[in-house]
Amino acid sequence: GIQVEQSPPDLILQEGANSTLRCNFSDSVNNLQWFHQNPWGQLINLFYIPSGTKQNGRLSATTVATERYSLLYISSSQTTDSGVYFCAGLTNFGNEKLTFGTGTRLTIIP
Amino acid sequence: EPEVTQTPSHQVTQMGQEVILRCVPISNHLYFYWYRQILGQKVEFLVSFYNNEISEKSEIFDDQFSVERPDGSNFTLKIRSTKLEDSAMYFCASVDRGIQYFGAGTRLSVL
Helix, strand, coil: what percent of chain A each, to 5?
5, 55, 40
What dihedral angle (degrees, nearest 10) is formed by the CA atoms of B59, B64, B70, B74?
-70
Q: What is the pLDDT of residue A39?
A: 85
Q: Do A42 and B98 touch (CB under 8 A)?
A: no
CA distances (Å), A55 to each of A24, A42, A59, B101, in order?
Answer: 20, 22, 6, 19
Q: What is the pLDDT of residues A57-109, one digit of tens each?
A: 999 999 999 999 999 999 999 999 999 999 999 877 555 889 999 999 999 99
Q: Do A100 and B43 touch (CB under 8 A)?
A: yes
How many C-beta atoms surround the C-beta of residue B71 within 10 A?
Answer: 7
pLDDT higher for B49 or B73? Answer: B49
> Which residue out of A95, A99, A102 would a mutagenesis test of the B interface target, given it has the greatest number of B Cβ atoms within 10 Å?
A95
Chain mean pLDDT for chain B: 93
